Chain A
Amino acid sequence: MVDYDPAIINKVFETTDPVPVSREKIAKFCETISETNPIFTDDEAAKNGPYGGVIAPPGFATTFRNGRHFFQHIPRYGKQGFDAGKDVEFVAPIRPGDEITLSSSVKEIYDKTGRSGTMVFVVIRTTLSNQKGEVVAHVDHRFMSRT
C-alpha cells in the first residue's frame, strides 16, 4: 500500500489569481478543435439558445493553467510520471467576461499492481470558480508513476 501523510488529502495547496475569459479566447479554442456548434461560436444564434449567449465548449474547462507551484505539490513516487487522464464535472457554463480562479488539492492517492508492476496514481482536484464565487467545474487530474 502506498505511503503518504493523510493530512494532505483535500487540503488546498494553491489558489491562482483570477484568469479572464475573453470572447476571443473562446473563439480561438473553437478554431483549434474544429468546433462549429453555434452555442459556442455564433453570438447572434446563441442569444436564442439555452444559455442566452455564447458559452465556452466543455473542454475549455481544462485549458486553465494551474498555479506556478502546482507541480511541486504533487507527491512523487518513482522516477517517471505521466498524465493518465482526467475526470471533469461540469457544474455551470463558462461565459465570456468570466474570471476564473483555480484551487487545487490532493484528492486521492492509490496504487494498482498489474502485470507490469505497481503503479501509483495521484489524483489532483482543481476546482474552477467564477467571479461570483460559483463553482463552474471540478477537474480531477490523474498522474501515474511506476514505483
Chain B
Amino acid sequence: MKFADVQIGSAIGPEEIFISKDQTRAYAHANHLPAPRFTDDEGAKKEGLPGMILPGNMSLALLAKLVTDWIAANPAKMIRLGTTYRIPVQPDRTLILQGFITNTYPETKQCEIDIWIEDEEAQRLVTGTATVEFSQ
C-alpha cells in the first residue's frame, strides 16, 4: 500500500483482542504502576471502580498496535497519536479496536485516522486520532 491507495472513509480493523487480568498485572508491574486498580479487583472496588482496569498507557499502546498492524510492512510510520480516556477499560473481556481514515494530505503524504477501543456492547471506551506519514 502506498499513499495513493489511502482513501478517506476506509476502515482500519476491526481487531478483536482479549486482554487478561494477568496481562494487565504484568503490564502494571513491568511499568512501575503498583496502584491496586491495575492489579487487584478488591483494591479497585475500594477506589469506586467496578473492578481492575487497564492503565491508560496500556490502552494507548493497544491503539498504537492497531495502527502499526495496519501499516504492517508498508512504507509508512505513525508520527502522532492522541488518546482520550472516556470509560475505564476492564480486562478479562474482548475489546474491539477499530478506526477509519478521516483526512489525507497529499502535500505531506500524511493521513489522519480516528481510532477507538470499544466493548462488546459497542461503547467507545477510549478514543483517539493518529497521523501516519508515507514515504511513497
Query: Using a CB-CB cutoff of 8 Å, which residues 1-43 of chain B contact chain A?
Result: 17, 19, 23-24, 26-27, 30-32
Q: How far is the CA of A88 from the CA of B67 in the complex (A)?
A: 14
With a cutoff of 8 Å between Cβ atoms, the chain A residues found around residue B31 in the complex are 63, 65
Contact B61 A62 (CB under 8 A): yes
Contact A33 B27 (CB under 8 A): yes
Contact B81 A88 (CB under 8 A): yes
Given the contacts A87-B80, A89-B80, A90-B80, A33 and B61 also touching, CB distance less than 8 Å: yes
Given the contacts A37-B68, A60-B61, A86 and B79 also touching, CB distance less than 8 Å: no
With a cutoff of 8 Å between Cβ atoms, the chain A residues found around residue B73 in the complex are 49
Tally A-B pairs: CB < 8 A: 90
- How many interface residues does chain B have, given as a range? 20 to 34
With a cutoff of 8 Å between Cβ atoms, the chain A residues found around residue B82 in the complex are 85-88
Which residue in chain A gives the minimum CB-CB distance to B28? A32
Contact A85 B84 (CB under 8 A): yes
Contact A32 B69 (CB under 8 A): no
Return the contact of A62 from the options B23, B26, B60, B78 (Cβ within 8 A).
B60
Assess whether B123 is interfacial by the CB under 8 Å rule. no
Assess whether B103 is interfacial by the CB under 8 Å rule. no
With a cutoff of 8 Å between Cβ atoms, the chain B residues found around residue A37 in the complex are 65, 68-69, 72
With a cutoff of 8 Å between Cβ atoms, the chain B residues found around residue A32 in the complex are 23-24, 26-27, 30, 58
Assess whether A20 is interfacial by the CB under 8 Å rule. no
Min CB distance, B62 to chain A, in Å? 6
Given the contacts A88-B81, A90-B80, A57 and B65 also touching, CB distance less than 8 Å: yes
Which residue in chain A gives the minimum CB-CB distance to B128? A85
Given the contacts A87-B82, A90-B78, A57 and B64 also touching, CB distance less than 8 Å: yes
Given the contacts A33-B62, A34-B17, A28 and B81 also touching, CB distance less than 8 Å: no
Most chain B beta-carbon contacts within 10 A, residue among A34, A85, A89: A85
With a cutoff of 8 Å between Cβ atoms, the chain B residues found around residue A57 in the complex are 61, 64-65, 68
With a cutoff of 8 Å between Cβ atoms, the chain B residues found around residue A8 in the complex are none
Min CB distance, A140 to chain B, in Å? 8
Q: How far is the CA of A50 from the CA of B77 in the complex (A)?
A: 10
Return the contact of A29 from the options B19, B24, B30, B78 (Cβ within 8 A).
B30
Assess whether B102 is interfacial by the CB under 8 Å rule. no
Return the contact of A59 from the options B17, B57, B72, B84 (Cβ within 8 A).
B57
A63-B57, A88-B60 given; 17 more Cβ-contact pairs under 8 Å = A25-B30, A28-B26, A32-B24, A32-B58, A34-B17, A37-B65, A40-B68, A50-B75, A57-B65, A58-B64, A58-B67, A62-B61, A63-B30, A63-B31, A84-B84, A86-B60, A90-B80
